[in-house]
Structures are given as C-alpha cells and as structure tokens.
Structure 1
Amino acid sequence: MNDQSVDRPTAGTRSTRQKRAVEAALLASDDFRTAQEIHDALRRDGESVGLATVYRTLQALTDAGEVDVVKTDGGEAVYRRCSTTHHHHLVCRHCGRTVEIEGPAVERWAASKAAENDYVDVSHTIELFGTCPECRAARA
C-alpha cells in the first residue's frame, strides 16, 4: 500500500467525508480500479457515497496529479494512487495487478524525437498490459 496521507487536501478542493472515503479506498489498493469498483468497496465498508461523487472526486484527484488514470484494453478508465516520480505501468488485464516501471530507453527515444522535431515541454504516457504470473498460473 502507498504511504501517502489521506488528510492532505487536494489543491483547490475542500476535504469532505466522501472525498476522504474515496481517497482511503484508493490507498487501500496498489492496483488500478474502476470508479464502480471503488464505489462498490465503499458501499461494502458502509460508506454512503454516490457513484457520481466518486467520479467527481476521481476527476479532481486526477486533475491535481494525485491519481493516475489509464484506459484498459477495453477502453475503461481505471484509477490508482501512484508515486510522484515519472513512471509507466505494467498492468495485468485480468486482475489489475500493477507494477510501476521505468523506461530509460523510452525516455531517451521521446527526448530524441522531440528534439528532432524542435518540440519542447513534451510529455508522454505508456501503459503495458499483459497477464501477471498468478493469473497465468490460474489459467493453466
């Protein structure tokens, strides 16, 4: 689990019980989860938070750079609290298990392509999807 504090308010937003509950649900998992999965977990824990509130909170956290969002192979948005350093993700398409990975060769390639075309202030996102060892073993 990440060690980031739930008490730190997101820039430009007030801290509400619902927002704190969504943040706590994010901290409870190291894997990417859909808004619906987060909402379901909150309901199981007895939290009264609407699905629309979960979506709004996730969007605010994403806009503030506190949550990473990726699109799955099926196009669904999934969310996760991540480290604050630049990284990429290797995500199991079956269970959602996620590994933060670095890609020095990718970073050099991106910088090179930007320089070749005289671009500055370039950013990129790379997500890799596959099957983790546990899911591979379960399917064998």
Structure 2
Amino acid sequence: MTEHVIRQTKQKDAVRKALHASGDFVTAQELHRQLEDEGSTIGLATVYRQLNMLAQVGQADTIQLNGSQMFRMCDDRTHHHHLVCTKCGRTVEIEPPDETWLRKTAAAHGFTVSSHTLELFGLCKDCQMAQ
C-alpha cells in the first residue's frame, strides 16, 4: 500500500498560515494578493494547488460562492456547516438539522443519504446595515 506523504514547504506553510489568519472564506486570488502584500513571492498557481490540496485532505473547507471557489481553514475537524455572507464572506459555523430530519426528508423523496453539506448564504448584520 502506498502512503500519501505531504511534504512541508515554506510556501505551503505560508498558504496555511494566511488561510488560517483570514478566518472567513476567501478566494485563491484574495489569498494570493494578501501574501504578495506581505512580501511573499509565491505564485498564484501555487496558491491554487496548496488550497486544493488542503481541501482534498480535509484541512480546509471549500464552497462555491458567486461563481468563485472559496476556501476556509477550519479548526474543528468534525463535520460542520456554515452561514456565509454573500457580500463580505463573513462565516459562522452552525449546528445542522438533526440526522433524523435529513434521512426522513430524503426518504420522503425516495432517496437515501450518503453524505450532505449545508451552507446558508445571505447578508451578515453589518452588510445589511450598510445597504
């Protein structure tokens, strides 16, 4: 059996630290710009690769928002769900509906549940007040 080894590099560390510091969902372009502003010479393609790798191994969440793939480093390794502001990207982890409700809803439509994700999108209080 081949074990997948994840090498630790300076660039990988920089992406991981910047994603963790951002707190909310960000695009690869936003994270790349932030790294450049801090003096990093990391390329955009490298940022994309590192973010996708983090998502693939379960160390970061990823969602699609307004046609862009967005990433967020989550400290909690358990299954979780989010409220996401569609304007500023602010993110709050929330409790999902219970498993019984999920399975009952699926069964009512002739489905079985193999997995689920739940992301609620809207405007946070600050963005609502700014309108």
Q: Which TM-score bucket, shorter chain as reference? A: 0.7 to 0.9
In the other structure, the counterpart of 2:7 is: 14
SS of structure 2 residue aligned to 1:28: helix
Residue 86 of structure 1: CA displacement?
1.3
- Partner Cα separation in structure 2 for residue 118 and residue 24 of structure 1: 40
**Would the aligned equivalents of 2:83 and 2:91 in 1 still touch at CA under 8 Å?**
yes
In the other structure, the counterpart of 1:131 is: 123
In the other structure, the counterpart of 2:55 is: 62
Cα distance 1:137–1:113, how it changes in 2: closer, same or farther (>3 A)?
A: closer
What is the TM-score with the length of structure 1 in the denominator? 0.82
Structure 2: which 5+ residue stretches go unaligned? none
What is the TM-score with the length of structure 2 in the denominator? 0.87
In the other structure, the counterpart of 2:92 is: 99
Which of 5, 9, 16 is matched with 1:23 structurally?
Answer: 16
Matched AA of 1:77: Q
- Partner Cα separation in structure 2 for residue 61 and residue 108 of structure 1: 31
Q: Which has the larger share of strand?
A: 2
Residue 85 of structure 1: CA displacement?
1.5
Cα distance 1:50–1:128, how it changes in 2: closer, same or farther (>3 A)?
A: same
Residue 12 of structure 1: CA displacement?
2.5
Q: CA RMSD in A?
A: 1.8
Identity of paired residues, percent? 52
**Would the aligned equivalents of 2:103 and 2:112 in 1 still touch at CA under 8 Å?**
no
- Partner Cα separation in structure 2 for residue 113 and residue 130 of structure 1: 23
Structure 1: which 5+ residue stretches go unaligned? 1-10
- Partner Cα separation in structure 2 for residue 95 and residue 113 of structure 1: 32
